[in-house]
Structure 1
């Protein structure tokens, strides 16, 4: 099934690594990593093309390759763990992992519990609708049922509560006033519901532009 894509140019997502959480310091985290000779990295196992399990049950994807390169340059091993996104963004890591390489956007709320030492790529956000939808602009999703990943910048955008406090972020406007926001564990689950048909469960969704490539 083919889907149409609608760019949401104003809400540009930024992604970066988070080295620490809570009151932990980057130096302490690095010492622990070097002592164990292993970098424990959180990422998503179901978010192609950034990160996913291949047919051999091995992690692949852009974020995975970035994490492996970080470990390689440190001269240590890398271990991937895949907790849910809302747990990662909450910042209550308690030493269970060292870093998140999962395309996380720096926001004001997240900066209170996590450290964002580097930005490693930018990607635009986008809105998507089913091919049977008559919508031709982002604003036409106003009053509709719109899906997004829980605790994501896309959900915050729909809630009119998105503050991206990082350098180089362009200004953006809220172009959608959703009638209902539906939250999902990841973008794949959102797309699965959108595939069911226009208005069946969703009228549209918000997510990263790279994720929308999976809809084509």
Structure 2
């Protein structure tokens, strides 16, 4: 009986040790791998407008690309970009295919169950955009109309009146119009392309970020903002929750980039205004 008891105790002890080691198996592993390989794997999009896109040379370019390369430089490594879909990024279960995700992700409570958000690097304001030929003068004029949006985003939740502002400092949401039809597209550039065809041809309006609109108008898009911003939100770098050391490092790097003006310079370079601070 004594031997049996000792064997059970030993088994339980080993199980506890195994569980503890499994729970911390990746503690520091992400950072160690980044430093060992001299590579920071970054998920960005090829069609996320000014944030990240393919330039005329077919190369990745944009604000998020520059920010990621600056992060990598601060860490003494090279940025390596991968381009999964937004839906795949926000679904979680990355399986170490990339280390961080850009894309101006809003750190909601629901997303925080899947990701760590080590640093806020951007502040986004959602606006309603119409064609310059639109007769709409107020948001209520879009009641019953067709509005485009990028799928699987908080902007889509806003259009469906299901947005729960559960990030730090969030203000209550006021729904000031009700679209008759919502066109949710899997890639960023489809809605602007459709609105460019003319008022009411395919879309009566679209919802997107104010900084994206500024860039589109600068590029000659026949758009205008309708009314004030619908809501504003912080945007953070997303990473796995499994490695605190890695996330602390990202947090430290972004703080340095804020303090030395790097983020401000990059925001002004790409958007013509400083969206790295909350206003």
Q: Which one has the largest radius of gyration?
A: 2
Which aligned pairs between 1:72-83 and structure 2 lie closer than 5 A? 72-83=73-84
Structure 1 pair 72–134 and aligned structure 2 pair: CA distance change class (3 A): same
Name the residue aligned to 2:272: none
Query: Greater strand percent: which structure?
Result: 1
Matches of 1:67 and 1:106, distance apart in 2: 18
Query: Greater helix percent: which structure?
Result: 2
Q: 1:24, CA displacement in angstroms?
A: 9.5
Name the residue aligned to 1:7: none
1:92-121 Cα offsets, whole Å, 9 max, x none, are 311111101221112233222111111111
Q: Normalization by structure 2: what TM-score?
A: 0.64
Name the residue aligned to 2:36: 35
Name the residue aligned to 1:118: 119
Equivalenced residue count is 194
Q: CA contact under 8 A between 2:165 and 2:173: conserved in structure 1?
A: no
Q: 1:36, CA displacement in angstroms?
A: 2.3
Matches of 2:60 and 2:130, distance apart in 1: 29
Matches of 1:27 and 1:200, distance apart in 2: 53
Which aligned pairs between 1:1-216 and structure 2 lie closer than 5 A? 27-213=28-214, 214-215=216-217, 216=221
Q: 1:35, CA displacement in angstroms?
A: 2.8
Q: CA contact under 8 A between 1:38 and 1:79: conserved in structure 2?
A: yes
- SS of the equivalent of 2:192 reads helix
Q: 1:157, CA displacement in angstroms?
A: 1.0
Matches of 2:132 and 2:189, distance apart in 1: 17
> Gaps spanning 5+ residues in structure 1: where?
1-22
- SS of the equivalent of 2:121 reads strand
Q: 1:139, CA displacement in angstroms?
A: 2.6
Matches of 1:198 and 1:145, distance apart in 2: 11
Which protein, 1 or 2, shows the higher relative CO under an 8 Å CA cutoff with sep ≥ 6?
A: 1
Matches of 2:88 and 2:27, distance apart in 1: 20
Matches of 1:36 and 1:179, distance apart in 2: 51
- SS of the equivalent of 1:183 reads strand
Q: 1:81, CA displacement in angstroms?
A: 1.1
